[in-house]
Chains A and B, each alone.
Chain A
Amino acid sequence: METQQGEARTGAIRTIVVVGGGSAGWIAAARLAARHARGTDDIVVKLVESSTVPTIGVGEGTWPTMRNTLAKIGIGETDFLRSCDAAFKQGAQFVGWKDGSPGDAYYHPLNPPAGATEVNLSPHWQHLAGAAPDRAFADWADFQAALCDAGLAPKTITAPEYGGVANYAYHLDAGKFATLLRDHAVGRLGVEHIVADVTGVTMADNGDIARLELADGGSVAGDLFVDCTGFAALLIGKVYDVPFRSCRDVLFADRAIAMQVPYAEEDAPITSHTVSTAQDAGWIWDIGLWARRGTGYVYSSAHIDDDAAEAALRAYVGPAAEQLSARRITIEAGHRERFWQNNCVAVGLSAGFLEPLEASALMLIEASMDAIADRLPRTRAAMDTAARQFNESFTHHWARIIEFLKLHYAITKRVDTAFWRDNAAARSIPDSLKERLALWREHPPAPQDFAHAREVFSWPSYQYVLHGMGFETHYPAIAATTPDAAIARRWTGRIERMRADAVAQMPRNRDLLRAIREHGLQAV
């Protein structure tokens, strides 16, 4: 039965306090406020942000999920693109990961393979590949790689906000993104913004956090606290001491060097995908924003020293790097054993960190806030169940992401440096991944291989990486006369036409972004 407005409920969740004002904090506050602040439960959302702790600004690549998140928060795509220096991203290109030979590159586009709900194209492609070994799976099974190759956008100016011909995500300036979210959350959604350093907490008898104590002598009481304090993990780590589960034994990267690179000229093309280029001891990201590129080397300090890594990044950027400064970041790959403890839930870097190989950081924030905001416990009594469900779900998600990231390394044929040899060594590969790899030599990745209905990385993503990396498979031949082969032919024929149409009709990525900055996109 619906509780009437104003009726007292024991332990009702009324005040949610978000701690930390980076991307995670403001996404959390905005999602909660947009979903609940004007509801019958009359929930108040507050965000406490230190004026002295800088944000990390992690995560300049998103998933397509960001389109839904922004729409739910109530931010228009035109405003977002203009405010955040953002550009369209249609996937990732992995350069030099397979064997490091000249021309070694493959795409993991954001479009799923054609007809994914009707047919599994892997075995059909394997047999085609025997006849046409140069035809990449991503290029055969979908049209998006052709758009990426040509530097074209995923939509035209006549598409509505958040809609497109091809699936897409964004590259964005994380600092500007946090500012946009803050202005929207405070100005439009009624989030109370408190700028103060948190100096301590007062605990309740049941072990919950009762309130935060602030440096200015004030305090902020709450029913639920969202810890978005980044690597500091002020609540989930320092208050609750929830152990951190490292995955350094699987994913070796523990350092990053980042460099922002201006475009050489105003009209320079904006690459519409992330380029991830393998290096001796890690890989370099290269993402195109409206006004600059973001680059960085993610590496293992056990395999290269910091100065050599910076030299490698500068060599990648070229002469332009001479005038640019680099920023070094220490990272710890892994996550908390639990994310939700008592009335505190960790979101963002306080929950964990993984190298940005598949841009999972912002996606995990969004997924966490989907789970929290859409299933917000209405009472304290319901919170323990919500916490248990959340912890089970996100322990699974983190494990699945770690495994998928490791896949990129585990099946490399590179043996040129210790980093790549160690990555392919059996001792560093999770047993669950070994088991799946053995399966996928004989059986194409399929929905049945995954436990949850909504996996963060599901079988299409595995197909793109496995086939892109040249993973050796032995799938049974499918006779051309079977219905399955007919469906595959129909879809690949359709893809050929869609590719030709899309390449002919889509504008250059920069041209579309310029048109949007000038004219805006319509809401419908």
Chain B
Amino acid sequence: MLDPMRHHALHSDAMAGAAARQFVQIGLSEIALAAADMPLCLVKDAQTGRFTLIALLGLIEPRNLFWHDGEMRATYLPRAASLTGFRLDAAGAGGLAVDEADPAMGARGEALFAADRSPAPILADIRAGLERIVADIAAAQALIDDYARLRVIRPLSITLQLSDGREHVVAGLYGLDEEALAALDDATVVALHRADQLAPAAVMAASLAQVERLRQLHNATHARQIAAYQIAFTD
């Protein structure tokens, strides 16, 4: 819970939160935008086991490969990436809670409270942004739940061959299997199309090609290069 007494000196450096993320949750309206830069995959929520839509930002280390020299070098910044330190909490100041351990929170960035400990105007913007993201993520969740019901989601393994001869497997990812999509009956395909659920599936499936972008970004900044990789659906 955001508390003026406890957090009056706290600042938020939104981009510092984005820098440390290997992936970030995205909403329905972000699918086409994020796919311009990032592979879109699914991970399972640890509490519910439900699939969650994410944009992959890193491959090996838990960091954002698009973040370089203090800026995000991508055409699109997923909205949740700049709000990593905040949650909605009706009981908190500005209707917010903060995660004090998040890298965005500290002594740098924008102040959350004025000198008299009243909420800074930025809190209202953050809250509005969070409310929009929560609704957008819920819409994505409904879409993904439908894909799960149609059984077009498969475990996805990205195997990286490194220049030192080792292998690294990016585990715990799931994706939309184009073969499973192609095997759907005509009525289901039409129903998906009418519900605006077919195009997102195609975009998500195609976005896996952006693993190559992540490889290039990794190799530009790491001595241990990713020599090759394989993307495979497993069962």
* Interface residue ranges, A against B (CB under 8 Å): 156-160, 515-516, 518-524
Contacts and interface: CB of A to CB of B under 8 A. Distances in A.
A515 B148 contact: no
B67 interface: no
In this complex, the member of A156, A516, A523, A524 whose beta carbon has the largest number of chain B beta carbons within 10 angstroms is: A524
B213 to A, nearest CB: 26
Contact of A157 (B49, B148, B155): B49
A42 to B, nearest CB: 22
Contact of B235 (A159, A519, A524): A524
B48 interface: yes
Interface string B136-164: 00000000000010010111000000000
B141 to A, nearest CB: 12
A524 B49 contact: no
Contacts of B47: 157, 515
A521 B49 contact: yes
Nearest to A158: B44
A227 to B, nearest CB: 37
Contacts of A515: 47-49
A312 B154 CA distance: 52
Nearest to B155: A524
Nearest to B151: A523
A522 B46 contact: no
B151 A519 contact: no
Nearest to B153: A524
Contacts of A159: 49
Contact of A524 (B45, B50, B174): B174
B49 A523 contact: no
B51 interface: yes
B49 A522 contact: yes
Contacts of B172: 158
A519 B148 contact: no
Contacts of B148: 522-523
B153 A519 contact: no
B122 to A, nearest CB: 35
Give 8 closest A-B pairs by Cβ, nearest first: A157-B49, A158-B44, A519-B48, A158-B49, A524-B155, A523-B151, A519-B49, A524-B154
Interface in B42-83: 44-51
B-side interface size class? 10 to 19
A158 B47 CA distance: 8
Interface string B104-137: 0000000000000000000000000000000000
B46 A157 contact: yes
A156 B44 CA distance: 11
A153 to B, nearest CB: 13
Contacts of A524: 151, 153-155, 174, 235
Nearest to A78: B49
22 contacts: A157-B46, A157-B47, A157-B49, A158-B44, A158-B46, A158-B49, A159-B49, A515-B47, A515-B48, A519-B48, A519-B49, A521-B49, A522-B44, A522-B49, A522-B51, A522-B148, A522-B153, A523-B153, A524-B151, A524-B153, A524-B154, A524-B235
A522 B235 contact: no
A72 B235 CA distance: 16
Interface string B75-107: 000000000000000000000000000000000
Contact of A520 (B46, B49, B154, B174): B49
Nearest to B44: A158
A179 B14 CA distance: 56
Contacts of B151: 523-524
B50 A519 contact: yes
Nearest to A520: B49
Given A160-B155, A522-B148, A524-B235, 12 more contacts: A157-B44, A157-B49, A158-B44, A158-B46, A158-B49, A158-B172, A516-B49, A520-B49, A522-B51, A522-B153, A524-B151, A524-B154
Contacts of B174: 524
Nearest to B50: A519
A201 to B, nearest CB: 43
Contacts of A158: 44-46, 49, 172
